[in-house]
Structure 1
Amino acid sequence: MEFKFDEFLIEWMDLSNEYKKLEITNTNYLDALENLELLQEQCTMQIKHQRYRMQQMLRTMKQQTSNKHLSTEKDKLQELEKNMLKRKAQLHEIEQGLPQKNSFYLNIILGNVNVSILNRSDKVRYKDDYEKFKLILNVIGLLLSFLNILVNYRALELAFLFLLVWYYCTLTIRESILKVNGSRIKGWWRLHHFISTASAGVLLVWPQGEPWQLFRTQFMCFNVYISLVQYMQFGYQKGVLYRLKALGERHDMDITIEGFHSWMWRGLSFLIPFLFIGYAFQAYNAWTLYKLREHSDATWQISVLSVLFFILFVGNTTTTMLVIPQKLRGRIKERYRLMSLSGALKARKQNRDDRIAKNKFESSGLDDGRKTK
C-alpha cells in the first residue's frame, strides 16, 4: 500500500482547525467559570445583606412594641413578620444552589475540599446513593450477625466488627456532606452515628476472653433484631417520604433515620413498639456489661461500652418520646380546628337555608297578594 503524505497533511490541518475551536470553547468555559464564581460571591453577599437588614428591622420592631402608634397597627406588623418569615425561607432556598462551607469534621477528614453539589438532581442522586448504601450494608450486617450466632469463629467476628466501624464512620462522612448540601438531619441522629462508631471501635479492640464470650451471643442477637427493624423502617420511610415530597410537604434532601420523626405517623406508627423494644435491648446490653465489670478478666472496654450503650438508650428513648406528645398535641389542635371549621360551616349552611326559606315565604306572600287583587 502506497504511503500518501499529502492526505495525512490535509487530515492534520483539519485536526488543527478543530483544535482552534477547542481552544475558543475552553476560553469561553474558563470565562464562564470566573463569572460563575463572581456571581456566587455576589449572591452570598446579597443574602447576608438581606438577613442583616431583616435582623435590624426585627430588633427595631421589638423595641417599639410598647409604642401606642405601632400598637394600633398590630395587624400590619403581624403581616410584616409573616412576610419576613417567607423571605427567610426564600433566602434559604436560594442558598441551596450556592457552595457551602464544610463542617469542622469534614475539614479534618477531607481537608479544605469543596463538597457542595450545585446541581439539584445531582444532590438528590447523592442522597439516593446514601439510602442504597445504608440498605445494602444493613442486609450484609444482618447476614453476618446471624452467621456469628450459628458459628463461633473469631475471624468472622472481626470481619463483622470491622464492617460496623467502617459503616458508621462512612455514614458520619456522608451525612456531613448531605448536611452541607441542605439535608435537614437532626442533631441527635448524627451524634448517634458518632457514638455508634466509637462503640464499634471499642468492640473491635475488645480482647477475646470469657467476658466477651458471655456477651457475644447477646450482642449478635441485638444486631439481628436492630437490622430487621431498620430494614422495615427504611422501606416504609422511603415510601412515606416519596409521597410527602410529591405533595410538597417534605424537602428533597430529607433522609431515612433509625429513629422516629413526626412525619412518620403516616403509616409508620406501628413501628413504635419495635423501636422501644430495640431501645430496651440497648439498656439491657448496658446492664449486662455493667455486671460484667465484676468479672476477674474484665477490661476497660466493658465499662466504656456500658456507658456508650446507656447513652444510646437514653438519647434514642428521649428523642422518640419527645415526638409522640408533640404529634398528639398537633392532632388535638387539628381536631379542634376541624370541629370549629365544621361548626362554622354548619352555621353558615343554616343561615343560608334560613335566608332561602325567608325568600320563599316572602315570594309566596307576594304571589298570594297578586292573586287576591
Structure 2
Amino acid sequence: MLHKDLGPLVSSAEMSRCINCTRCVRFCQEIAGQMEMGQAFRGEHAEIMSFVGKSVDTELSGNLIDLCPVGALTSKPFRYSARNWELSRRRSVSPHDGLGSNLAVHVKNNRVMRVLPVENEDINECWLSDKDRFSYEGLNSAERLTRPMIKQDGKWQEVEWQAALDYVANALSQVANCAGAGEIGALATPHSTLEELYLLQKLARGLGSDNVDFRLRQSDFSADGKRAGAPWLGMPVAEISSRDRLLIVGSFLRKDHPLLAQRIRQAVKKGARANIVHSADDDLLMKVENKAIVAPDAMAHTLAQILKALMELLATRLGHPETMAKSLVMAAEKKTGVDAAVQDVVVGSTAAA
C-alpha cells in the first residue's frame, strides 16, 4: 500500500499494517459527520484512503490514531519522538473551551510530547478534539519567548529576569504614584490556570487596582452585575444527547466546541431537532430544522421574537394568552436580567399578536 498524505496531523506511513477493519471510515461518517475516508479497490487490492487529492480535515481527526487497532494511522507530530515507557503521565483538563475535556499529558524530560484523551462518559466520552490534542506543539515552538525582553531605543533586548522584574516594578510604581492605582489594569489570557489568575489579581490588588479581567475580545460589558452566578448549560453535558429540541445561538459549534457538536449530531440522528440563530451560515454537518441568519445587531431582536413565540405557546396552553404572556415576561426579566428594551419588544409584539 502506498503512503497517502492525510494532512499535517495524521500519518499513514504505516499503512502496510492496515487490516481493512474500516474503523476510521466509520468514525468519519458516524461521529465526525463527514465521510473523508473510504475503501478503494477490491479483494486483496483493497486500500483505506482519503478521497483523491484531499486530506482529512475534520476537527476530530486525531481520534483516528486512537481508533486504529494496528497502528497504521499514527500521530505526525509525535512520531519517532519518544518511546511509550519513557513518558510520565499527568491528568489534566482541556483549557480551550468550556467543555472541560479530560486528558492525559505525556511528558519526557520536562517537555510535553503528546496529549491523549481520558475517558469520561459525562464530558468527552473517549474522544478529544484536535485543538486539545495537538495544541501542545505551541509550548515547544521556536518562536515562543523563553527569556524576558525590554524595548530600548526602539529595539527589543534580552535581559536577565531580575532586571526585567525591577523594570516592571519601577514602571508600575511610577504609574501608581503619578496617575493613581486606578490607571493600572491587568489582563490575563482565558487559558491561564486558576493559580495564575489568582496570583495576577493578588498582584494587581496589592498595587491598589481592581482592574483585573480576562475577556480580551469582549467590548460590551453592559451585562456586568446583572448575572446570577456563572453562565452554564443548565444541565449535565451528557443529557444533550437525550434532548429533542436544541437552540444554538451565535456559535461556530464545530470550531468552538467540536465535541459538543458531536453530541448534538448524535442527538439529531436520534430524532432531535436542531435550530440555529447566527450571524453566519455555518455547516454543522447535521440536519438543521430551522435557521435564522441575521446581522449581529439584530441578534437580540431575533431572540426576543423567539422568546415571544415560546411564551405565547406556553400561555395558550395554560389558557390565559394575554395576561399570562406579560407575567411570563416579568418573571423572565427577574430571573435572567433581560434588558428592558428587549422586554418592550416582546410585550409589544405579544400585545400586537
TM-score w.r.t. the length of structure 2 is 0.23
Using CA pairs below 8 Å that are at least 6 residues apart, which structure has the higher relative contact order? 1
Mark the structure with the bigger radius of gyration.
1
More helix, by proportion: 1
More strand, by proportion: 2
TM-score w.r.t. the length of structure 1 is 0.22
